[in-house]
């Protein structure tokens, strides 16, 4: 018996079968993939864009002026944007947190900026996102219980302000945009539960689980998801932010998660680490020098249908752009294939068996 | 009255309407474009690959073992390979020319290698090229008449050896591979004519014009083409190597050229210089910051059908891979569109008018 669930998420830009994995389009593009590749070849229904990055360049005013992010990047399907909080804390130099929000300097040119719970809603509405995140603080790992509690309670107060501002903006908006608050609380189950309970009265469109995959042990990440599984409303989607490795996706789903995103498939692709149905392939290895086989014989992506491992290795060693294009296409497809397997297993009522199978396969692959 | 001609070039990998422009796939890929982009979106019928680059990495033995270059790079249409000579002279460090051939060090790791007229035929046959080039020396510009003559005469002797070796190899080959010798002679019309005349008795499948676009004034390049126009056999294709800018393509065609190749559309695309039907666009310029128009309203490529100049500028400034992909796709398409215009003008017997039109448009565009 697991908590895995299959559903459909409805957005103004299409309906999305869940559980769903969202590729990351940091700067208004999934690195190396065109919208056509994403939609037609890979069947992506929703992707994530980073509010911080698009805020500092090209900026929300420009994107709004050009018709919103969907039109700007020529992407007709769903877009979820994060709150910008995570990048402010991980990328920006000087930053200062107050009750009002966070001040930070752009990592591009050092310009001083501020995010408040209200302003990040406005920025994401300028983008025209289908799903917005409320501003949160994502503490680093490890952090003490006292600071984690203080930070989490501020995140809850920010979420209330964001929700109130969002309601006001929605009252006058012809288009619908969902807002998810973010559950924080570092690696402390009591804080996680307190946070989830406090966010319940927002009656939000969905709930995100933040502060995961920031360096904590894997077992702890999953434990944090379990901590709030029984508290969050069953009828709303739950989004585990920034996870995970291929073998982790089924684990999060088993704990009631409906949505995930991660840079891993695209970033690892560029670095030469390819995910296949038979385990990982480090493409630069000499063993692939004259390997005529496709990267993954079980994969139907363009890369696997058309090219050998030897050719991919040649492109990688030559630093060719096409390597990144083909490798990313495959890795993203691999993630989506895993999600399709997961959903099929759920709807055919054999998820526990599926989970056992992938756990043993993952253990075999090391 | 011009010397422009339309024809069809038959290869074992398809028939190619001429005049034709061949995109450059230096290391077994046109940078940023997949074979599917090239064939389906752009309608490319033949591309050029660099013998030197593929010789040093991944090497002819590996490519032959993997079924040849067509299969290696998953490209079902025509491939022309250069002789390797040009890169030996421009990229390699130490090099030594003797009557036998040229010794050089790999620009990748300093390993010592040698090319002879016979060995470069063998290398190109290992690739399975449809059209091979005979080994030549491409002197830099400027060079004195004496050295240019000495070098040209050696290139003729090398071409004879290449042709003889090629005949022997073809006698035992189940597949057909054409061999073009290369007319050299720097910027001296008398040497150009002497070279073309000397190569005539090879009765070659086609003739290449080398040593152009190596720094000489444009008028001189065209004069060199004119010098041999009346000497080369009318029934064989003529290939001007390494040319040219968009406005130059019709000029070469007007002088009897059937085939051209150049890295400009792809290299300039990556550097932010885009060719449109209305002239050049330097995409980083602030004037395109909020420009919602497509790059070229007259272009039917995926880039122009889907994205604004503002988005392309954003991708360029962000250093995104997708910028190179979309920009290259457009620039190559622009070149192919010019070639289609050229061929249409020839077959509808209005090439002189077309030439006048593009000359005045080019003068207007500065």
Nearest by Cα to A50 from A65, A60, A61 = A60
Q: What is the pLDDT of residue B85?
A: 86
The answer to whether the bond into A142 is cis (omega within 30° of 0) is yes
Mean pLDDT score, B237-256:
97
* Distance (Å) from the alpha carbon of B183 to chain A's nearest alpha carbon: 31
**What pLDDT, on the 0 to 100 scale, is given for residue B153?**
98
Q: 């003889």: which residue's tokens?
A: B164
pLDDT for res A365: 65
From the CA of B13, how many Å to the nearest CA of chain A?
A: 17
- Summarised one tens digit per residue, pLDDT across range A71-81 is 999 999 999 99
Q: CB of B283 within 8 Å of any CB in chain A? A: no
A138-149 pLDDT, tens per residue?
Answer: 999 999 999 999
Please answer yes or no on whether B321 and A31 come within 8 Å at the CB atom: yes
Residues 6 or more apart whose Cβ sits within 8 Å of residue B193: B185, B227, B228, B231
Among positive and negative, which fits the CA dihedral A335, A340, A343, A349? negative
B357 near A CB under 8 A: no
Q: Note whether B318 contacts A67, CB cutoff 8 Å.
A: no
pLDDT of A256 over the 80 cut: yes
In this prediction, residues A98-106 reach a mean pLDDT of: 94
Spell out the residues 6+ positions from residue B293 whose beta carbon is closer than 8 angstroms to its own.
Answer: B308, B309
Residue in chain B nearest A33 by alpha carbon:
B322
Q: Is the pLDDT of residue A245 over 70?
A: yes
Q: Is the pLDDT of residue A153 over 70?
A: yes
Of B66, B308, B317, the CB nearest to A290: B66
Give the whole-angstrom CA distance, residue A273 versus residue A266. 10
Which residue in A57, A66, A307 is closest to B308 by CB distance?
Answer: A66
**Strands B238-240 vs B207-209: parallel, antiparallel or unpaired:** parallel
Give B34→chain A minimum CA distance, Å.
7
Residue B359's alpha-carbon distances to A148, B248, B362, B365, in angstroms, are: 70, 9, 5, 10
CB B226 within 8 A of CB B255: yes
Give the pLDDT mean for B123-150.
97
Q: Does residue B93 register a pLDDT over 90?
A: no
Q: What is the pLDDT of residue B250?
A: 98
Q: What is the pLDDT of residue A94?
A: 72
Does the pLDDT at position B89 exceed 90? no
pTM for this one?
A: 0.97
The confidence score (pLDDT) of residue A363 equals 78
B 303-332: CB under 8 A from A: 306-308, 310-311, 314-315, 317-318, 320-322, 324-326
Asked if B107 is an interface residue toward chain A (Cβ–Cβ < 8 A), one would say no
SS3 of residue A128 by DSSP: coil
Residues of chain B neighbouring A31 (CB-CB closer than 8 A)? 320-322
**A176 touching chain B per CB within 8 A:** no
Dist CA B53 CA B59 (whole Å): 8
Q: Residue A318's closest chain B neighbor by CA?
A: B27
Q: How far apart are CA B258 and CA B255, in angstroms?
A: 9
B160 C-beta neighbours (distance < 10 Å), count? 16
Query: Could you tell me the CA-to-CA distances from B145 to A42, B193, B194, B247 in Å, in that order?
Result: 59, 14, 13, 30
Contact at CB, B74 and A307, closer than 8 angstroms: yes
Return the pLDDT at B362.
Answer: 82
**B335-B336-B339-B344 Cα dihedral, nearest 10 degrees:** -140
Of B300, B268, B296, B264, the C-alpha closest to B284 is B268
Q: Is the pLDDT of residue B366 over 70?
A: no
Residues of A in contact with B327 (CB under 8 A): none
A149/B17 Cα distance (integer angstroms): 72
CB of A64 within 8 Å of a chain B CB? The answer is: no
Min Cα separation B59/chain A (Å):
10
For residue B279, the SS3 value is strand
B365 pLDDT above the threshold of 70: no
Contact A321 B320 (CB under 8 A): no
CA dist B287 and A110 (Å) reads: 24
- Asked if B322 lies within 8 A of A32 by C-beta distance, the reply is yes
Contact A57 B302 (CB under 8 A): no
Rounded CA gap, A128 and A124, in Å? 6
Q: Which two tokens stand for residue B46?
A: 């033949």
Task: Please report the pLDDT score of residue B198 as a whole number.
Answer: 98
- How many percent of chain B have pLDDT more than 90? 94
pLDDT in tens, B165-222: 999 999 999 999 999 999 999 999 999 999 999 999 999 999 999 999 999 999 999 9
End-to-end CA distance of chain B: 26
In DSSP terms, B95 is beta-bridged to B104
Mean pLDDT over all residues of chain A? 96
What local confidence, expressed as pLDDT, does residue A85 receive? 86
Among the partner-chain residues A29, A290, A307, the one whose CB lies closest to the CB of B62 is: A290
Rounded to whole angstroms, how far apart are CA atoms B152 and A359? 68
Substitution target from A30, A322, A330 for chain B, most B beta carbons within 10 A? A322
Residues in chain A within 8 Å Cβ distance of B65: 290
Per the CB < 8 A criterion, the answer to whether A155 and A184 are in contact is yes
pLDDT band with cut points at 50, 70 and 90 for residue A86? confident
pLDDT in tens, B27-85: 999 999 999 999 999 999 999 999 999 999 999 999 999 999 999 999 999 999 999 98
In this prediction, residue A46 carries a pLDDT of 98
pLDDT value of residue B252: 98
Residue A187 CA to residue A195 CA, distance in Å, equals 12
Whether B27 and A320 lie within 8 Å, measured CB to CB: yes
């Amino acid at each position: 018996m697991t908590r895995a669930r299959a559903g459909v998420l409805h957005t103004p830009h299409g309906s999305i079968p869940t559980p769903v994995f969202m590729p990351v389009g940091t700067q208004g593009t999934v690195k190396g993939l065109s919208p056509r590749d994403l939609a037609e070849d890979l069947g992506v229904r929703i992707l994530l864009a980073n509010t911080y990055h698009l805020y500092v360049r090209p900026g929300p005013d420009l994107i709004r002026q050009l018709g919103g992010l969907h039109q700007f990047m020529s992407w007709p399907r769903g877009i979820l944007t994060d709150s910008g909080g995570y990048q402010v804390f991980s990328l920006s130099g000087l930053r200062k947190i107050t009750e009002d929000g966070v001040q930070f300097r752009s990592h591009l040119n050092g310009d001083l900026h501020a995010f408040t719970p209200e302003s990040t809603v406005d920025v994401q509405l300028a983008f025209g996102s289908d799903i917005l995140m409320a501003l949160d603080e994502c503490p680093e790992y490890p952090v003490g219980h006292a600071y984690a509690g203080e930070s989490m309670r501020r995140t809850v107060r920010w979420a209330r302000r964001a929700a109130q501002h969002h309601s006001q903006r929605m009252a006058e908006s012809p288009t619908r945009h969902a807002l998810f608050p973010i559950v924080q609380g570092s690696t402390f189950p009591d804080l996680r539960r307190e946070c989830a309970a406090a966010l319940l009265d927002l009656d939000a469109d969905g709930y995100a689980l933040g502060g995961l995959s920031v360096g904590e042990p894997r077992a702890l990440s999953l434990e944090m998801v379990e901590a709030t599984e029984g508290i969050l409303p069953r009828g709303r989607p739950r989004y585990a932010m920034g996870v995970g490795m291929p073998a982790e996706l089924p684990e999060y789903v088993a704990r009631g998660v409906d949505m995930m995103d991660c840079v891993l498939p695209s970033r690892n692709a560029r670095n030469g680490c390819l995910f296949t149905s038979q385990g990982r392939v480090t493409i630069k290895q000499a063993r692939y020098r004259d390997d005529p086989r496709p990267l993954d014989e079980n994969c139907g992506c363009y890369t696997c249908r058309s090219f050998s491992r030897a050719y991919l290795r040649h492109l990688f060693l030559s630093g060719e752009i096409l390597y990144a294009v083909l490798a990313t296409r495959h890795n993203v497809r691999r993630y989506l294939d895993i999600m399709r397997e997961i959903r099929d297993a759920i709807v055919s009522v054999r998820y526990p068996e599926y989970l056992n199978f992938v756990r043993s396969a993952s253990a075999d692959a090391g």
